[in-house]
Each structure stands twice: as structure tokens, then as C-alpha cells.
Amino acid sequence: MCGIVGYAGHQEAAPILLDGLSKLEYRGYDSAGICVQGPWGLEVMKTKGRLQALRELTREGAKLPGVVGIGHTRWATHGAPSDRNSHPHLSDDGAIAVVHNGIIENYLELKERLIARGCRFQSDTDTEVVSNLIAHYYAKTRDFLEAVRQAVRRLEGSFALGILCRENPGTVIAVKKDSPLIFGFGQGENFIASDVPAILKYTRKVAYLDDGDMAVFTAHAVTFYNALGDPIKKKPETITWELSAAERGGFPHFMLKEIFEQPKALRDTLHPRLQEGQVCLDEISLPEDYLRGIRRIYIAACGSAYYVGCLGKYILEKTCRIPTEAVLASEFRYASPVLGKDTLVIIVSQSGETADTLAALREARRQGAGTLAIVNVVGSAIAKAADQVIYTWAGPEIAVATTKAYSTQLSVLYLLALHMARALGTMEEEALSQATAALEALPDQVADTLTPERIAQVQHYASALFDNHDVFFIGRNVDSATCLEGSLKLKEIAYVHSEAYAAGELKHGPISLIERGTLVVAVATVAELFDKTMSNIKEVKARGADVLCLTTQDLAAEAEKTADFVITVPRIHPLFQPSLNVIPLQAFSYYTALARGCDVDKPRNLAKSVTVE
Ligand code: F6R
């Protein structure tokens, strides 16, 4: 949460910082600010609200002349969104300016000590202790780098920091621990940012900072230091994807664009790993001996990634016959999990920086379990901390609500399931070949699901049903796991109260909430369980519910006899059917949110990456 940028170069810094922040708004968007080292020292402008408010306040940056600066877009953790709590934060003496992504866990203790020394604070944030602490050491040492080092040694928690010092014009210091930070190498200019899109317009050469790393840079030079303070070399990596991947490209919202990018994201993720009719996962090593010793698999993740794990349980148990459990990362390490060498913990995360998921991964490693991460962001904390990584190649996902990352995470679980099933011999050769061929066809089948007619039909239903206050998603087996995702999408972007229940569970309590006009979305694509779900539909209809049923084309005629509205998807290999089922649900949430006038890409109170526990 929160995005930071920094610049030292030959161009006006403020417009570059504003442009960079516009690519980071997905990380937080309740306030924004910049500090430029100008002719009169450190000039700060910041404001509550979206970046647009800062653009207006600074007149697109024209009010802050200077060629060195730092910027921030915020998702509030300590202190409400307000002008005063917005970053950058100046030290009490005005010598140091700081932007921060992360949380300083011991800030209260540090603040008390600084107050005792006469330091005054203007905000409720944890970040202001950082600027004041650095200023404290700077007053003692008169050495910017040394002051930052001494201050950082006293900080507990997570931080990516961009720091300016009034008396060291031209220099920016950046520090990273447990929050992402990249360095961008330019020509006569250098950059830092929380994520690549913020600087991709200016450079493709980047270095990923590791925990404890520091970068001290000017327009023409950079020195990197490791956690021990030793100078280190960082090899620039070249970003190969285009900035257009992180732009709306003619779509009204990133979410819609990303829904339609799913076939490509799946192709990029699956096809290089499907060779000559077999799954080929060169990037990991799960030898047969090791797999035979695995007694239990946990899939630990948060939010939608956890719901991918809920599907993963069905997929892995069916194909590999290893007991598998999806666990909420935020609960995992507090539940005293019994882990060891015979446990494989699969970690699923788009951002690769979700604090709870990272903590679950560390707990698994601490207890000696094998860890395998499925991650979208290259070089992220989770990717670095896991024993093994399989990247999803979804490209940058900008909309806060995940769509293409979810789909690619699921596709990696399919790959893993088939890979492990082959090693373990838990699937017949023929079944394995059929499944592998079906997996290869999946990106095209997802494209076939995204037809204009189907999407228009979903939009039509959304515009008729958008006004419901309560929605229930019901389904059986894998459909119940898809319901969890459909329901989350609706809550997070359309602000509709919705719940997901295994269809058979409704009569054990929640059916008492069904009344005239309640919307029930029934997902009924598992052929063997179709009749049972139809019975559940009849039960809710008898109590006044309106029912929208999602089923496969072959079952449409039957579903139409019972449900009020029916949406269909093509029927494919049952293992991969959930990948098609989720698509109309994503579109339904999108159009419901639009009909309700919600900000689809930036829903209230949320941020794309959740780096607080
Ligand atoms: C929902 C959504 C979130 C994330 C969750 C985990 O649309 O995007 O629920 O799935 O916050 O995030 P990652 O995958 O980055 O760990």
C-alpha cells in the first residue's frame, strides 16, 4: 500500500513525479504529495484526495520548480486521510523530507523519545518519526548517509523510503526493507519507484533492491549499499514489456481491459510450459522421491488468491491424491499449523508483497516445510523468500479487483497438478494426455467465453439486478469455490452485501435471510450435482428469491425451467471448467458496479497490495 517515487536529473522533477504517481495510484489513493528540492530548499505540496487534487494544487507541478524530488500516493494506515497526514513528511527542523511505504512498528516508542528531546510533530503518522529521527542524527553527524544509516538501524517494521536533505541538494537516498522498491537507471537522470510502470516511460533499465539495500543517487551517479553498509554492484535488468500493458488502451476501466486480457495472460502463462503434450515446469524441482514423501499440502493466500487455493484443494486432491487444504494466510501462523519436511506449502500472491502471505511463508520455512510460491510480480518479497517460484505471466494488473491474476494463478495450479500427477502416477496416461491437451486449449476457450453477445447479456442482467441489497451466491463442489470469488468481486467493487454458500448449506441457517426480491446467483456447472443445485434453487424461489443461474450450454434448457435468468458458458474438461465459470461473474460485478455509479478501478477503502497485517 502506498506508492513512492523519486527523481534526480536534468528535467523538472514535479511533472515526472506526478506522472509516476499516476501509475502507482492503484497502491493507494486517499492523498498524495511531492517534495522538490528547489531554489529555496525543500518545497512540499500535499493534499487529501486523488492525485488529480495534487495536480490542480501544484498546477501540474509548475508551482514546484527543481530537478530533484520525491512523491507519494497514500493508503492511510496511521492517521486518517488528511492534508496533514499526507506524505512527504518534513522533519521538525525542515532539514529532511521523507516518503514512506510500509509501517514503522516501533514508531510510538521512537516518537516519545524524540518528543522528550523537544521535537514537535505535525501528523498522526508513523512516517514522521523517520524524518525526525534522520534529522536528529543529521544534526549530530552532519553526514546525510550516516544519519540515514543510524536512523534505519532503529526502525522496526517495513519500509521503502525516499529521502531528501536540505543541505545535500541533488542527492536522494532510498532504503528498502519488506516493501518493494526499484531503481531506474537513466541518462543523466535516475529514479526510484515502488513499481516499474512509474518509470517505464523514462527507462527500461532497473535494479530490484533487496531487503536492507540502500541507494544513494544523484542525476549522474548511484552507489548501492547492502544491509551491512558495504558498497555493492547491482546489475541493471531490462524490462521487456510495454508501458501500454499498464495503460487502459481504449477501455473505460482497467478492470474491463484486464478481463479481456485473460486469454493472452493464460497463453503467456501456460503455453511455454506445455511442450510436446506434456507439462514442463523447468523452473522448479519436485522430484518423485520428494513428492512421495509429501503427506499434506497447504495453499496459503489472502482474498481472491485464497479462493484460488479453495479451487486448488479440489484440483490437487483429485489429480494427486494428496490431502490439500486452503488456508487464510492471516490465520495460518496463529493456528499452530503442524508443518515439517513432509508438508508442501504453496503460497499464492499476485503482488508478492501481501504482509500476511509473506508471514505465512516465513512460518512455513521456519518449521521446515517446503515452500513454492505462485507470484505475478518478478523480484517481489514472496518470490525471493520462497524455496521455489512459478511466475504467472499476467502482466501488470492495475485494477484493484483481481481478474487476470486470479485466472493465471488457477492455471498454474492446473500445471502443478498435472506435473505432480505424472510424477506420482496418480492419473492414467490417457487421462493425463487428455487433460494436458485440454489445458493447452484453455486460453482459446476463455476467449470463446468472452464473446460480445455473452458480455452484453451479462450487462443486461446487471442493469436489471443492480439494485439488490443482498445477494447470495450458491454452488456445489468447485462451483462453491467459484461462488466465493464471484461474491467477493461484487462486494469489493459494487458495494453490495453478498455471501457465498455451498448450496447444500443454505438450509442450515442462511435461508432465513431469503425473502421476496433477494437475488440468488446459482452456479451449476458440475453435471453430476446439477439436479441437486436445481433443488436448492427451487427452495430459494419458494421463499421469493430472484435466481440468476450460471451453467454450461448443454444444461441451459434444464436451468431455464427453474431459474429466472440464465447465463451459459461452454462445457469443457471438468478440471478446467472453473476458469470459464468465473468470467461472467467478473463481468457481472463490473457492470453492477457501473450501474451503481461506483469507481470500479479504485473501490473505496481498498488498495492493490496489502502490506499491513
Ligand atoms: C480481490 C483482490 C484481493 C487480493 C488479495 C491478495 O479482488 O484482489 O482479495 O487477491 O489482497 O493479494 P495478492 O494476490 O497480491 O497477495
Residue 182: its pLDDT value, please?
Answer: 96
Phi-psi region of 249 (alpha: psi -120 to 50; beta: other; left: phi over 0): left
What distance in angstroms lies between residue 524's CA and the mean position of ligand 1's atoms?
A: 25
CA 158 to chain centre: 17
Cell of 572: 469443457
- From residue 52, give the alpha-carbon distance in Å to each of 80, 197, 248: 19, 18, 17
Report CA torsion sign: 530, 534, 535, 537. positive
CA 464 to chain centre: 31
Share of the chain above pLDDT 70, in %: 100
Closest CA to 304 of 613, 542, 611, 610: 610
Q: Please name the amino acid found at residue 15.
A: P
The 3 state secondary structure assigned to 445-488 is HHHHHCCHHHHHHHHHHHHHHCCCCEEEEEECCHHHHHHHHHHH
Show the ligand 1 pocket: residues with CB < 6 angstroms: 302-305, 349-351, 354, 357, 401-402, 488, 492, 609-610
pLDDT beneath 50: ranges in the chain: none
Q: Where are the beta strands (DSSP E) in 283-334?
A: 296-301, 324-328
Residue nearest to atom 10 of ligand 1 (CA): 304
Residue nearest to atom 16 of ligand 1 (CA): 349
Most informative mutation of 354, 357, 392, 491 for ligand 1 (most atoms within 8 A of CB): 354
Q: Within a 10 A sphere around the Cβ of 335, how many other Cβ atoms? A: 10
| CA distance linking residue 398 with residue 271, whole number of Å | 24
What distance in angstroms lies between residue 390's CA and the mean position of ligand 1's atoms?
A: 17
What distance in angstroms lies between residue 350's CA and the mean position of ligand 1's atoms?
A: 7
Q: Count CA atoms closer than 13 A to 527's CA, side-chain side.
A: 11
What distance in angstroms lies between residue 17's CA and the mean position of ligand 1's atoms?
A: 27
Is the Cβ–Cβ distance between 34 and 58 less than 8 Å? yes
| CA distance linking residue 600 with residue 597, whole number of Å | 9
Active site residues: 2, 608
User: What pTM was computed for the model?
Assistant: 0.90
- What is residue 516's DSSP assignment? T
Residue 209: its pLDDT value, please?
Answer: 95
What distance in angstroms lies between residue 28's CA and the mean position of ligand 1's atoms?
A: 14
The 3 state secondary structure assigned to 391-420 is ECCCCCCCCCCCCHHHHHHHHHHHHHHHHH
Q: At what angle do helices 577-595 and 478-494 cross, to 10 degrees?
A: 20
First vs last Cα of the chain: how many Å apart?
11
- Render the burial of 120-150: b for 16+ CB within 10 Å, e for the rest: eeebebbbbbbbbbbbbbbeeeeebbebbbb
Most informative mutation of 402, 409, 604, 606 for ligand 1 (most atoms within 8 A of CB): 402
Most informative mutation of 302, 361, 397 for ligand 1 (most atoms within 8 A of CB): 302
Closest CA to 232 of 266, 209, 255, 205: 209
